[in-house]
Chain A
Amino acid sequence: MKTPKWNKQMLFAPYLYISPYFILFFVFSLYPILYSFYISLTDWNGSGEKVIIGFDNYIQLFGDKTFWLSLWNSSLIFLMYVPLMLFLGLIFASILNSNWMVGKGFFRMALFVPNFVSVVAVSFVFILLLNTQDGLVNSILRNIGLIDSPIPWLESPWWARISVAMMVLYRWLGYNMLLLLTGLQNISKDLYEAAYVDGATKLKSFFYITIPLVKKMLLFCTVLSTIGTFSLFTEPFILTQGGPLNSTMTPVLMLYIESFQNFNFGYASSIAVCFFILMMAISLLQMRIFDDKE
């Protein structure tokens, strides 16, 4: 009994229903991406004439030491906090998942709070804490006799990277812990009981049951953290302005400085395009690894 009109509707309707996403995607994602690719081929100060200069921006970018340094910095910061964060996250998640723990709701919230407190506010608090001359951290370390001279938390390249990494750790530990907690809660209790019956210690069941079964979740957390680390912006922007000696410069911070401080929008767009391609490659690579584990 299908009329031609009904047929037409059948054809149209699904597309109509999914169209809102695509319209938004075209307007707010695809068009800007294509447009920034176009800008990356020009010399443009943000207003006025765009002069097409071909791939000059890319040639300049690949020869720009700061850009390579920004990628190197991101990798270092990633190595400084991600393993530690996943390790601590897993431990906290296991504790919160155990039967004997009291006040689970409170601790879950307490660990998660840093994630939704304004980053800018937290950054300013960190500046006060890490102040070399009279910051709280140095005062405490000095008073308990761990250090003689103050640690230049934000003034030397390595300490600055560590400070940024610690702040990111503080912010994202709770979030990753929650993800791992959901992973843990999916593990059937039967497995632990069986192991117990077979005489396995708590530690053994942690290494042979818990870790293998949350591996997928750990990988997922790593993927998120990779993208998060390379696009770090607010923390280094407020804590160190990318310094000293560009040691906390990240690709996104560099993009911001080139565009909104130096008004080199063409050059900034070439950073954006390279960053996009790089992130896509890393994500694909990680998804491949992710798939193999299934």
Chain B
Amino acid sequence: MKRKSLLYVLITCLMVSLLATACSSDNKQNASTAPANGDEKVKLVVWIWETAKDGLDLNMEAFNAKYPNIEVEFQTMKSTDLYSKYLITSNTGDTVPDIITVESTNLSQIVKIDSLLDITSRVEPYKDKMSAYKWEDATKDDKVYAMPWDSGPVVMFYRNDLFAQAGLPTDPDEVAQKIQTWDDYYEAAKLIKEKTGAMMYGDSKTNSSNRMFESMMWQRGLWYFDDEGNVAIDSPEIKESADFLIKMQNEGLVFDARANSDQWGNGIRDGKIATVVGGSWHDAIIENQYSPADKGKWSVAMMPKWSKDDKYTGANQGGANLAINKKSKHPEEAWNFIEFMLGSEDSQVKMMAEAGLFPAMLVNNDASLDEKSAYFNDQAIRKVYSQSLANTYPLAYTSDFPMANKLMTDVWAKVFLNHVSSEKALQEMADELRSKTKRN
């Protein structure tokens, strides 16, 4: 009897393994269809999110004309879903997708899982054509794994009508002159609050996205981690920036809503927020999503800097990249696609002009930079973006950015809810970050 039951166990195991192999061989068959024969069509699968796809769509016609034998299928999803799905893909060794879109904020993390194709030699001609900072997160052990797409040069969007009411200048050049440093920004905030009742910017005390704070760190070359990868959030310089933002909050100069939330958008719509210090892509959000009725009321200037002597003034917020799956069956065609879309100035300029994706590529002498925006008071806003981009500190987000960003949100909550000192809150964050990331 004992032997019999052993037999059944064996049979069950056999059936399980049969089932398992049946499944996996199925997968392989699906994946190995469409070999790349000379005149046969090659199909590339690109994982992307909707707004980014809108940019590529503008160039699809030209791409199809140049590469008639490459067919491109876009599969759209949320960026966070894309990363977790790709992680699973890389685990199972799937050949699909061929190309993925990755935000710079998450790029280093994705590069670290070792499933992207090394494109070091292919990107060589583009090394100097792109903003230097973009390569940092795409590189691991001197090998490059992604091609930069767009940037989010940080600028200051401001309500010129509120500025006028507060007796501040409204012309972008004069504003840039008047608000050179963050202290100037603070003084302007007090004036605006007093004269108009509007808040200077929107940020949540307990659920901050940290965008403003990160831009302030970035422009000074400071970050959660230093150049050697050690945790640096407890440095005195960073505490200065944090204390500045705490002062703004404590003096009631900030609209309490997480940046880019609906609540924040309503504040923009109702004219309760005077400035947005953020990536260039905010132009489309302000113009189309939150404040379409306020044509002519917004202008753009460079963001304030910490001290007048600082070399860099700009920072970056977001921006995407394209990368190739190491297991892709068509790496050549995938690279053709990426090179066509991101390596050519024509494609990049088109995406900038029509989809609001400001290129990581340094396009300085193009007429589209001088094009005036009707919504933004007939200002050549892209001129400001390119100026900001050229002055952006070459900094990397690094692989533990998502974790650091989340912990930083708690630092503000500790300061504002539990009245912990900024020094202690930052120190606690540094300790936690060190123990979790095993950094120094």
A127 to B262, CA, bound (A): 10
Query: Which of A162-170, A174-182, A223-231, A242-250 is found at the contact surface with chain B?
Result: A242-250
Interface pair B263/A27, CB less than 8 Å apart: no
Binary contact readout B202-242 vs A (1 if CB under 8 angstroms, 0 otherwise) = 00111100000000000000000000000000000000000
| Beta-carbon contact of B20 and A243 below 8 Å | no
| Interface 0/1 of A130-164, CB less than 8 Å to B | 01111000000000000000001011110000000
A102 CA / B340 CA spacing, docked (Å): 69
If A47-B115, A155-B206, A263-B87 touch, whether A257 touches B256 (CB-CB below 8 Å) is no
For window 111-141 of A, CB contacts with B under 8 Å fall at 127-128, 131-134
For the complex formed, measure the closest distance between the CB of B400 and the CB atoms of chain A, giving whole angstroms.
8
A262 at the interface (CB under 8 A from B): yes
Choose one: B87, B207, B435; the contact of A241 (CB below 8 Å).
B207
Known interface pairs A134-B263, A243-B206; A260-B87 also in contact (CB < 8 Å): yes
Enumerate chain B residues within 8 angstroms of A246, measured Cβ to Cβ: 410
CB distance from B405 to the nearest CB of A (A): 10
Complex Cα spacing A257 to B80, Å: 11
Specify the chain B residue showing the minimal Cβ separation from A152: B206
Q: Does A15 contact B (CB under 8 A)?
A: yes
Other-chain contact of B206, A26, A46, A245 (Cβ < 8 Å): A245
Residue numbers in B under 8 Å from A154 (CB-CB)? 207
Q: Taking the complex as formed, is A11 at the interface, i.e. its CB lies under 8 A from any CB of chain B?
A: yes
User: Given the interface contacts A27-B19, A27-B20, A128-B262, does A155 sit within 8 Å of B207 by beta carbon?
Assistant: yes
CB < 8 Å A-B pair total:
92
- With beta carbons under 8 angstroms apart, the residue of A11, A23, A46, A134 that contacts B87 is A46
Interface string of B425-440 (1 = CB under 8 A from A): 0000000000110000
CB 8 Å contact bits of B3-14 with A (1 = contact, 0 = none): 010001001100
Q: State the interface size on chain B (CB cutoff 8 A).
A: 41
> Knowing A46-B91, A262-B403 touch, does A19 contact B206 (C-beta < 8 A)?
no
**Cα–Cα distance between A132 and B257 once the two chains are bound (Å):** 9
Chain A interface residue count, CB cutoff 8 Å, equals 35
| Complex contact A263–B15 (CB within 8 A) | no
* Binary B-proximity of A196-237 (CB < 8 A = 1, otherwise 0): 000000000000000000000000000000000000000000
Check B402 for interface membership: any CB of A closer than 8 A. Answer: yes
Contact in complex: B266, A47 (CB < 8 Å) = no
Chain B residues 141-175 with CB under 8 Å of chain A are none
Please report the C-alpha to C-alpha distance between residue A27 and residue B22 in the assembled complex, in whole angstroms. 13
Cα distance, A208 to B403, chains bound together (Å): 55
Q: Are B256 and A19 in contact (CB under 8 A)?
A: no
Complex contact A134–B417 (CB within 8 A): no
Cβ-based interface call for B16 (8 A)? yes
Is A245 a contact of B417 with CB atoms below 8 Å? yes
- Among B8, B83, B84, B418, the residue within 8 A (CB) of A15 is B8
| A48 interface contact, C-beta 8 A | yes
Q: What are 11 A-B interface contacts by the 8 Å CB criterion? A: A45-B112, A47-B91, A48-B114, A131-B263, A155-B256, A245-B206, A260-B84, A261-B80, A262-B402, A262-B403, A263-B113
B binding-site residues for A, Cβ under 8 Å: 4, 8, 11-12, 15-16, 19-20, 80, 83-84, 87, 90-91, 109, 112-115, 204-207, 256-257, 262-263, 266-267, 400, 402-403, 406, 409-410, 413-414, 417-418, 435-436
Residues of A at under 8 Å CB distance from B? 11, 15, 19, 22-23, 26-27, 45-48, 60, 127-128, 131-134, 152, 154-157, 240-241, 243-246, 257, 260-264
Told that A46-B113, A133-B263, A133-B267 touch, could you supply 19 new A-B pairs with CB distance under 8 A? A11-B4, A15-B8, A23-B19, A27-B16, A47-B115, A48-B113, A48-B115, A132-B257, A133-B256, A155-B256, A156-B206, A156-B417, A240-B207, A243-B410, A245-B206, A245-B413, A257-B406, A262-B436, A263-B113
